[in-house]
Structure 1
Amino acid sequence: MVDREDVANARIESATSQSSSTIKLVPADRRVRELIRGEAIREAGTFDQSLPLTRLRLEKAAEDLLKRLNLPRGYLGWTMVAIGSAFWQPQVMNVPYQRRLLLLPHCMRNVSLCAASYSKEGLACLGCGGCGLGWLGEIARAKGYRILIAEGSPVVLRLILSGEADALLGVACLNSLERSLERILMAGIPCMAVPLLVDRCQDTVTDEDWIVEMIETPYVPRTLVGRSYLPLMRLAVRIVRDSAEELLPRQLATTSAGNTAEDPLSVTEDIGYGYLKEGGKYYRPFITLGVYDAMEGGRLARLSGSGQPEIPDYVQRVALAVEVFHKASLVHDDIEDGDRYRYGRTTLHERWGIPIALNVGDYLVGLGYSAIASSGAPAELTADLVRMFSQAHVELCSGQGAELWLARNPLEPVRVPQILRIYAMKTGPAFEVSILAGLRLAGPLPKWVSQIRKFAHAFGIAFQIQNDLSDWEMEEDNKKLLGTDLLSRRPTLFWALGWHLLGMRFADMMAALPPDVSKDAVLERVHAVRSEFERRGVFAAAEKIFRKERDRAVALASAIPHEEVRQFLVYLAEAVLRTGRV
């Protein structure tokens, strides 16, 4: 039992030994962890299990819990994990052991003794007994778990979205858990986790008895009432990765080996289809499918994670077209912005040159309209869809064109309202048309379609600001550098806030960032800009604008009169739009 004096002492020790600005502190005292965990179980018991768990809901519950216990906000991340695990436990119990994936961290190994090697799926443990990985793996393997020893690698998401696992149980540091949270919440897969006690790359420690308890979560099959968008997310992935050529057959002969040099006539088609399947989060086709299903009563959203959704082929072809258009815009954006990496690989124009990449982007635009025209939908519906998508193209190109125009004079001041209007035009239309397509595929557009447009406007602005914020976060799997937008002189919200809050000091800093210097020199100057942004409140201002637009999107979604569509759009906004930099 923990008394209040012990809790107070732990709070004081934490506040004096670690930065209070972070939300990813682990309570050093086991008794404090037990107290939070017990309260988290009680808190999760008050949640409506029929609604998907969202980050906003989870974060608010964790903040309220810590306030009740008079504990520092630095424990927020740890508390969110505890509440989320308790919330998902009943759903995990409904999943057979053979359908559960256990993710263990390679940093638990004893480096001085470990002789295991790495494969593309992580560490291949030899079970030598030199660390806890071996005996924890034995317990899980005896029950039928699939086990991966890796750090939140893309293979985990692939296994989930491909339907090879219906529940995820993991052990990781809070940094890794935080990075994974967005995709876990978006996929809606039941997940339980035990955080590591320290964040280091080797010989780390954790509450191993809690890991055993998590692994031994019993299998108790029962009927659960609630929504899960995982079947629709899996369908979106399957349509693009596995069914694209069946739904939208190639027109030219291809080589299975992908050797485009053998047939120059099929080069564009080969590269285009290959790029379509290359990667991504598949938000946009998922949105179209989700809205369509919501208008049809939300039947598929009530399936279990292993269910097989049945959606007409013409609906799937339109969802595929949504992703084809998105990929086309990325090819062109990467050229216009000078980006070198996409999906962890060099961009198409870096691989094949700008002329070929431009042509592939144009090809994908045509392929998208071909998918709509040949979808098999009734003629009136097809005409409406072509009109919707063409209008979206006009708007987003106008928004992108405005950004490119401003980039011609990078040292000219840019105003925040100007940037937000550009964001609404360049990012909002893609989300708007994804929603409208789902609505129209299910029948005539409803009278409340104007509310959808306002939602997409706010969602697009918040999504783009979130993307701007992520430019200052390192993404190892995408080979990104910090501040690439800044280095490219791209007119973003940070550019406008820099002018607004720093004035000519910002102009001087930008002039000191010549692109033709060494990488180390560039990094040093970018970090100097980042420090100045922190000091002058640029990041705080960006996060404030982000939260305003995110909250506006949630409020607009909450006012949609159709229950299933309302639930889906609220879930979408809360799952996709995070809380900014943490």
Structure 2
Amino acid sequence: MSSSDSITQESIPPTLEQRAGLRGVIAEYVAARRLAAPLDIDELAGHCAAVLAAAGMDRKYLNYAAVLVNNAVWRDSVAAVPFDRRLLLLPRCLRNAAVCQAEMDEFGLNCTSCGGCIIGQLRQEAMELGYVVLVAEGTPVVMSLVASGKIEAIIGVSCLATLERIFPVIVAASVPGIAIPLLRDGCVNTSVDIDWIMDAIRATGGESAGWLSMESMRRQADDLFSPEGLADILGAPANETERIAHDWLALSGKRWRPFLAMCAYHACNAGEHAANGDARNINKIALAVECFHKASLVHDDIEDNDSLRYGQKTLHEQYGLPVALNVGDLLLGEGYRMIAECDVPPACKERMLAAAVAGHRCLCAGQGDELLWMRNPKPLTV
């Protein structure tokens, strides 16, 4: 499984019967153990050794088996994604170089479906179903599509060396995918199991594991703190104090708290798209969490006598202590208002308010311990 392993044609079982047999063994193995994606490299290595032993096949097929195991654990998630949210990625080396007249652009090969190779057939099949199809090597354009939120699953065809290289990238991006290895190495006139690609392209009816697009969720959290997003949820600023509070909320930051709040909701609801009412409630809770956080920063900067935050003057340096304290207090009130305005059952709202109160009190107690210690420093004990 090491990226330094030599990847050659010998790394793939030579006959279709052997390859199909190994796929069958792996499908049964994954189902029996109820393996769930994502699997890391070490997990894959262990499972691959086991399936090769069960199939009575040589360990030289370890990398090939890793691709098949990974495909098996992701198949249902890919099959649950609508066709128009999937990407089919084909390599240029599948073309017949002797007759291909297609031109290249920044997105890859512009196939003309001349019939000189299998690319045209695969491309037409996928596009008729609604796929986005790219005939290109490399990951930048693929990851940009994933980051756009338009692509939720990838079916990719490539050599084993490339599949092994991009595996960590795809896993890190939280993208379900199926990979079909080329049967022959080289950068020209390669070959592949066509039926396997067709089967993957047409896969439907899987049960989604609720896998979330982190990039899409991150954008949703960021959009919430645009001037328009804040005005939509909080209302337009009615006075100068509210304007300062909105500006403070909109300042750059990692926004981990609202992001994680959104992720927690979707994870608990199996990744289902929120209804309109739920979406607004989620936004209010995410905003409430950030209101509490940004209020704590205003007060913390005052207590620590900090002059810079986010690369610019802190609020009390800009407006003075009284105004900064008042804005911080307003943000606390806004956080509680967001929770109070959520359209949820009273018992649920009560639990949310209780959680916010507990967090607020714990924050103040911890900050108080630090401030009091600074007045009378003494050795710390565990």
Tell me if structure 2 keeps the 8 A contact 1:24–1:78. Answer: no
Partner residue, 2:287: 314
Shift of 1:186: 3.0
Instruction: Return the letter of the residue paired with 1:235.
Output: M
Tell me which stretches of 4 or more aligned residues in structure 1 moved more than 6 Å.
294-297, 305-309, 367-370, 373-376, 440-443
- Counting only pairs closer than 5 Å after superposition, residues 140-539 of structure 1 correspond to structure 2 as 140-217=126-203, 219-220=204-205, 224=207, 226-230=209-213, 232-239=214-221, 245-246=226-227, 288=257, 291-292=260-261, 298-299=267-268, 302-304=270-272, 310-312=282-284, 313-314=286-287, 365-366=311-312, 377-378=331-332, 444=359
The 3-state SS of whatever aligns with 2:179 is strand
How far apart, in 2, do the equivalents of 1:187 and 1:214 lie? 21
Tell me if structure 1 keeps the 8 A contact 2:258–2:290. Answer: no
How far apart, in 2, do the equivalents of 1:109 and 1:165 lie? 25
Shift of 1:60: 2.5
How far apart, in 2, do the equivalents of 1:79 and 1:442 lie? 52
How far apart, in 2, do the equivalents of 1:235 and 1:83 lie? 28
Judged with a 3 Å threshold, the aligned counterparts in structure 2 of structure 1 residues 130 and 292 are, in CA distance, closer, same or farther, namely same
**Counterpart check, 1:79 vs 2:65:** yes
How far apart, in 2, do the equivalents of 1:307 and 1:158 lie? 27
Partner residue, 2:12: 27
Q: Deviations over 1:30-67 (max 9, x none)?
A: 23322321211112213436x54221433332232123
How far apart, in 2, do the equivalents of 1:316 and 1:44 lie? 40
Tell me if structure 2 keeps the 8 A contact 1:166–1:305. Answer: no
Tell me if structure 2 keeps the 8 A contact 1:88–1:190. Answer: yes
Instruction: Return the letter of the residue paired with 1:234.
Output: S
How far apart, in 2, do the equivalents of 1:82 and 1:364 lie? 46
Instruction: Return the letter of the residue paired with 2:159.
Output: C
TM-score normalized with structure 2 length? 0.61
Partner residue, 2:74: 88
* Ranges in structure 1 where 5+ consecutive residues have no aligned partner: 1-18, 250-272, 277-281, 322-361, 382-439, 448-582
Q: Deviations over 1:342-383 (max 9, x none)?
A: xxxxxxxxxxxxxxxxxxxx995449999xx989852899xx
Shift of 1:197: 1.8
Tell me if structure 1 keeps the 8 A contact 2:95–2:189. Answer: yes
Tell me if structure 2 keeps the 8 A contact 1:292–1:442. Answer: no
Partner residue, 1:53: 38
Judged with a 3 Å threshold, the aligned counterparts in structure 2 of structure 1 residues 179 and 443 are, in CA distance, closer, same or farther, namely farther
State the number of aligned residues: 290
How far apart, in 2, do the equivalents of 1:150 and 1:20 lie? 22
Shift of 1:125: 0.7
Instruction: Return the letter of the residue paired with 1:157.
Output: M
How far apart, in 2, do the equivalents of 1:364 and 1:238 lie? 21
Partner residue, 2:86: 100
* Structure number, greater radius of gyration: 2
The 3-state SS of whatever aligns with 1:378 is helix
Tell me if structure 2 keeps the 8 A contact 1:23–1:74. Answer: no
Q: Deviations over 1:458-506 (max 9, x none)?
A: xxxxxxxxxxxxxxxxxxxxxxxxxxxxxxxxxxxxxxxxxxxxxxxxx
Cα RMSD over matched residues? Answer: 4.4
Partner residue, 1:116: 102
Judged with a 3 Å threshold, the aligned counterparts in structure 2 of structure 1 residues 153 and 295 are, in CA distance, closer, same or farther, namely closer
How far apart, in 1, do the equivalents of 2:59 and 2:315 lie? 50
Judged with a 3 Å threshold, the aligned counterparts in structure 2 of structure 1 residues 288 and 111 are, in CA distance, closer, same or farther, namely farther
* Ranges in structure 2 where 5+ consecutive residues have no aligned partner: 231-250, 295-307, 317-326, 336-354, 363-382
**Counterpart check, 1:64 vs 2:50:** yes
